[in-house]
Amino acid sequence: MVEKETAEMVKFWLLLFGSFLLRLLLIFYGEWQDSVMQVKYTDVDYFVFQDAANFSVQGKSPYLRATYRYTPLLAWMLQPNILWNSVFGKLLFISFDVLTGFLIFCLLRNTNTVSQRQCIVASCLWLFNPLPMTVSSRGNAESIMTALIIFCLLMLQKGRVLLAGCIYSLSIHFKIYPVVYALPIYFYLGDGTLITKFIRTSDTAYRTNLMRKILPNKNQTVFILSAGFTLAVFTGYYYYRYGWDFLYHTYLYHIVRKDIRHNFSIYFYMLYLTTGLNNSVILGLLCFLPQFLLLVVFSFKFYRDPPLAFFLNTFAFVMLNKVCTSQYFLWYLGLLPVIYPNLHISFRKAVVVLVLWFVGQGIWLFPAYLLEFDGQNTFLFIWLAGIVFFLINIYILLTVIAAVSHTSHPCWSHTPAHNDQLSTSLCQKKSLKKIKMT
């Protein structure tokens, strides 16, 4: 048994190495394409990073580069691009990409419901997925995000709350969207009894009880303090160095961003048609409401399984965001391998869902292409395609939720972060029940 496990581990290391080599090959291919063709393999943003890194080397503000809307930390990290070789950033990004695959493996191995073999398969879903492979080798920094998020999950799983807080706020510092994980993390670090009682009773005695449950316990306090401190240090330091430019481009721009150009969002045409009209505030709230409701409901319902809560929250956030480009899809794709082994879904249905997801994008891409490259007025069709894609996304969410509902094992890890007796016993009860059933 042990020998078999060691053999599997050797295989896994080889797979990790192989996936890294494949990405290296893609980088080499990209360098070749860039040198001979006008259409570049390298992502447009990579040149933005590089220009920003150049300013960073000169001790200037990276925000001198127009459309640089990231943390100065990224420009600082990519300084070897200027000092050594412009391929450095891509090497860094594919490393984070492979690290993501490794962390997915680690995260699943600590879950008692998944065999080692399944862990490796899930990890390979990421390592050999053409999408993240091309994205990171083209020089897109999303892999840093996926690695940070999964590392944060791993730290939560291991009960390293302080570190989890630091990593979590670092991820928010890079891109703001991980704020949608705040609620599930907070509930997860509680005693795990929030929702069962919440649904059962509604008397005043319970309400005071609920207040007690919502107020932070030790773990939650540690998390809030470490996350708050880390974020404050980064924000404070960079604000001191780069001032308003930093605050605007790193945080505010992403919140107030109003891009009316066509994108996957169901809201796109509505927001475009209402630009300059006065009732935008009410509409803004109406757009925000579904997103907010879903995040709250998913957080309450699934916080005991943080990877699932993270996935559902990200998916709902992207699906209902006012701006949505294909880069956003990576945010939830990184979490898919982590929840996949726990989904009770037939292979056939998984394929159907996957095909639908691609078809939804294809239906959208066609009128979008006609508008952008052929100058035809296809706004209405793009909007209709956005609705179709939205409905497909709803269907995907329903499928995922139905697939997890069959697992009678709400306990995520065999070493729960919280040493709460009740929650541990809850896990044991469930496990026993499962054994009886089988």
Partner 1 sequence: MFPTGSRISRCMLCVGLTIYSLIAVVVSSNIVATVSRTIDKNGFHRNLRTEISIPRESIHFKPSTGDIACAVLLEETLPSGAFVDPYQLESLRAFGGPDVLCLHDVDTEKPEFLSQPLTIFIFSHLHLHEGHWTSNVTIPIHMRYQRPFQRQDYVTVTFLNPALFLRCPDTADTGEYDNIEIVFACDSMNQAVCTWFRIDYTSTKGNLDVQVPVGRLEHLPFVIGATIIITLLGCIMLIYMVIYHLPSQKKSKDS
Binding region for partner 1 (CB under 8 A): 38, 40, 47-48, 51, 54, 64-67, 196, 199-200, 259-261, 266-267, 269-270, 272-276, 283, 286-287, 289-290, 293-294, 297-298, 301, 316, 320, 371-380, 383, 387, 390-391, 394, 397-398, 401-402, 404-408, 410, 429, 433
Q: Which lies closer to partner 1 via its Cβ, residue 16 or residue 287?
A: 287
> 7 Cβ partners below 8 Å, 6+ apart?
none
Q: Mind giving me the DSSP string for 82-138?
A: HHT-TTHHHHHHHHHHHHHHHHHHHHHHTSTTS-HHHHHHHHHHHHT-HHHHHHHHT
Question: Rounded to an integer, what distance in angstroms lies between the CA atom of residue 360 and that of residue 161?
Answer: 39
At position 358, the amino acid (one-letter code) is F
424: which residues sit within 8 A by CB, 6+ positions away? 416
CB of 261 to partner 1, least distance (A): 6
Q: Reduced to 3 states, what is the DSSP secondary structure of residue 422?
A: helix
Quote the least distance from Cβ 363 to partner 1, whole Å: 16
Nearer to partner 1 among residue 330 and residue 427 (C-beta): 427
Least Å from the CB of residue 277 to partner 1 = 8
- Complex with partner 1: residue 164 or 382, whichever CB lies closer: 382
Nearer to partner 1, 156 or 294 (CB): 294
Looking at beta carbons only, is 2 or 421 nearer to partner 1?
A: 421
Considering only CA atoms, which of 183, 181, 178, 169 is closest in space to residue 214?
Answer: 183
| CB nearer partner 1, residue 150 or residue 320 | 320
59 vs 276, beta carbon nearer partner 1: 276
Instruction: Report the nearest approach of partner 1 to the CB of residue 196 (Å).
Output: 6
The CB-of-371 to partner 1 minimum distance in angstroms stands at 6
Half-sphere exposure of 371 (CA within 13 A, CB side): 15
Min CB(207)–partner 1 separation in Å: 19
- Least distance from partner 1 to the Cβ atom of residue 273, Å: 5
* Residue 241: both structure tokens together: 């160095």
Whether the CB-CB separation of 312 and 302 falls below 8 Å is answered with yes
Annotate 52-81 with DSSP letters as a single string: HHHHHHTTS-GGGSTT--S-HHHHHHTTHH
